[in-house]
Amino acid sequence: MKTTEKPRVGFIGLGLMGAAMATNLQTAGYALIVHDKRRVAAAPHIAAGAVWADTPKAVAQQSEVVFSCLPGLPQIEAVALATDGILAGIRPGQAYFELSTSSPELVQRLHQAFLEQGASMLDAPVSGGALGAKRGRLALWAGGDKAVFDAYRPVLKAMADQPVHVGSIGAGIVTKLVNNCISQATQAAIAEIFVLGVKAGADPLSLWQAIRQGSLGRRRTFDGLIDEYLPANYDAPNAALRIVYKDVLLATELGRELGVPMRFSSLALADLQEAMNRGWSERDCRSVMTLPQERVGVHIKVDPASIEDVLKMDPVAPTDTKRG
């Protein structure tokens, strides 16, 4: 990578997350080559100066470094390995960062294929949701050649404020699966037990206000409930349920392969599967938290203005690092 000028960046996949990350790259002054299965998705980026490429192969041919952000394993494999895919256009010495949640097995196959071409492939999934992507406030966990990671750190920082090299190839994906599985198992527990309090007569807003100042609350455990769960606002997804379902499914499959019991994660997966069966795939992932409410005849919906009033008069206490 040249140090005197910014590299030309290829970006494939301009969905909810990818579009925001690509926009942030442009804002940071990077020249973009873009591709998506829907050209209309690239319209804002093209209007801002990006160059359209008809295929992933063409993206690689015109770029120094390529990023892809895609919804699932079939799309990741096709974009990388199809006859008009990235591999067909990449040159020795180029780098490819895959930003999606994949599987360790697929990551290893992609890494080997690109290695044979003399190119570098790193798995670099991100975490932070659509809002985090818009703000550039994402964690990015990269597995692979650290020298390549370091060379492109400025590019990564333009998309994600917390890029971290976590180990060899595949380590990024494992980190993402662990993170998302913990998140969903914790969310399932909160959804079930919060309903217990409401069913027992507690006012939802008062209950949240109280536990937010407890030992877990001071670690910000319950702050995420204010955006979707408490106001029952699930139709404008920060993270689509289908994506989270895929991630937890991949994590539980990895657990089975390694002989690791995934009891809590499997319970969370069962609720996600039920939500998928109801047609909620494009709703926010926290919509799954309404299932425990249905099971006991409770409906939680708090006026957003009331939540704001609590936040103004009752800011969270300093983080307590001790259990209590």
- Measured at the CA of 165, the angle between CA 70 and CA 94, to 5 degrees, comes to 60
Which among 85, 37, 84, 33 has a CA at the least distance from the CA of 63? 33
**Residue 172 backbone phi and psi in degrees, to 5:** -65, -45
Phi-psi category of residue 236: left, alpha or beta, with phi > 0 → left and psi -120 to 50 → alpha: beta
Interhelix angle 171-199/104-116, rounded to 10 degrees, is 160
User: Is-above-0.85 flag for pTM?
Assistant: yes
Q: Which of 2, 134, 157, 176 is catalytic?
A: 176
* Centroid of chain to Cα 200: 35
User: CB under 8 Å to 284, separation ≥6 — which residues?
Assistant: 228, 233, 234, 235, 236, 237, 238, 239, 240, 241
Let me know if 176 is a catalytic residue. Answer: yes
pLDDT per residue of the chain (324 residues) written in tens, 0 to 9: 544 589 999 999 999 999 999 999 999 999 999 999 999 999 999 999 999 999 999 999 999 999 999 999 999 999 999 999 999 999 999 999 999 999 999 999 999 999 999 999 999 999 999 999 999 999 999 999 999 999 999 999 999 999 999 999 999 999 999 999 999 999 999 999 999 999 999 999 999 999 999 999 988 899 989 999 999 999 988 889 999 999 999 999 999 999 999 999 999 999 999 999 999 999 999 999 999 999 999 999 999 999 999 988 876 554 443 433
Query: Token digits for 51?
Result: 């160059």
User: What is the structure's pLDDT at 202?
Assistant: 98
Query: Token digits for 198?
Result: 């409401």
Question: Which CATH number is associated with domain 9-175?
Answer: 3.40.50.720
Question: Which CATH number is associated with domain 219-313?
Answer: 1.10.1040.10
How do the domains of the chain map onto residue ranges? 9-175, 219-313
Which among 222, 209, 203, 198 has a CA at the least distance from the CA of 294? 198
